[in-house]
Amino acid sequence: MKKHAEKAMTQTQRAAAELRELSGLTKEAIEGLLSPNTRRAYLSTWRDFVAWCAALQLAPLPASSETIVAYVANLAREGLRASSIDRALAAIATVHKVAGHESPRRATIVQLARKAWRRKLGTAKRGKAPILALQLRAMSDAAGTDLRGKRDRAIVLLAWHGAFRRSEVSALNACDLRFEPEGLTVTLRRSKSDQESEGARVGIPYGGHLATCAVRAVQSWIEAASAYGLAPEAPSPPLFVTLPGRGRVRKLGGERLDGKDIGRIVQRLALRAGLDIPRGDVGAHSLRAGLVTQAARAGKPIQSILKQTRHRTLAVLLDYIRDADLYRDNAAAGLGT
């Protein structure tokens, strides 16, 4: 019994050492290929997989197709959705490729197991509820007029009109903005759909209502923040920074808000505005989804929406547009019932 425990511990230690080595290798090899969030998620998933393999005395690298099938079944039993299992398989496959091994995901038995679990678990997507124009106005009104309110209003209005992801809002620097007669030009240096850092420019026009004008809200935040040390002309000061939880602001520290901070701000304003949306259905993505849905309902051309959202394919965008069209010229309406 003691020898068995010592053998298991040795294998666990060996796996841990291998993981440390691979983590460094993976990080170095895919530094320019994956976004930081994806890279962190993949490494976290790989650690979980190695720990699971160590507990069962299985080799994580290269992993046999039988090991992968068993791991998929384990994830399904733990309650993971089909999309989460697919992400785990992608992470494991990436580490194998980086280490010079064949991707275990290609094995026929793994593909069959994946399809079986997808049928059993279902693949219907549950995205965040879209925040529409009237709801956006209520959130803007609920933000307040102090420094925190100006910051939060600028964040939600800019993210909505630019159809920005939370990571894109977080990564913005003050120097990425250019105010022009037509509105505000935002330069994205890198985004989820731009892994090669080609960059993209997004136009934010002046709004017809002061309460929901993203351009004026961003101007108001920059003017207010400049009085506390934000220097828009500097090379790379973060546009949106953290504020003290309590007490009077004396000087902005310059710590950048991250994506989770952006999500919490959206949830807080939605709650304060009393939106009739379950809290779990509201997040930063609600702003991006809201712009697409509102634009589709207004009859904006698909190419115009695609230009603003920067989707590389129509597939995801069309999901939003189909939802927006559910009640337009509905066959069940006006039938005298």
Question: Do residues 177 and 240 lie in contact, with contact meaning Cβ atoms separated by under 8 Å?
Answer: no
Single out the catalytic residue among 114, 166, 285, 310: 285
Exposure of 227 by Cβ count < 10 A (0-12 exposed, 13-18 middle, 19+ buried)? exposed
Single out the catalytic residue among 105, 128, 165, 310: 165
Is 285 one of the annotated active-site residues of the chain?
Answer: yes
Single out the catalytic residue among 190, 192, 272, 300: 192
Angle, in degrees to the nearest 10, between helices 147-162 and 214-226:
140
Is 288 one of the annotated active-site residues of the chain?
Answer: yes
Spatial separation of the C-alpha atoms in residues 244 and 252, rounded to whole Å:
9
Single out the catalytic residue among 320, 322, 327, 328: 320
The strands making up 183-188's β-sheet, listed across from edge to edge, are: 177-180, 183-188, 200-205
Is 165 one of the annotated active-site residues of the chain?
Answer: yes
Single out the catalytic residue among 288, 300, 312, 327: 288
Residues marked active site are found at 165, 192, 285, 288, 311, 320
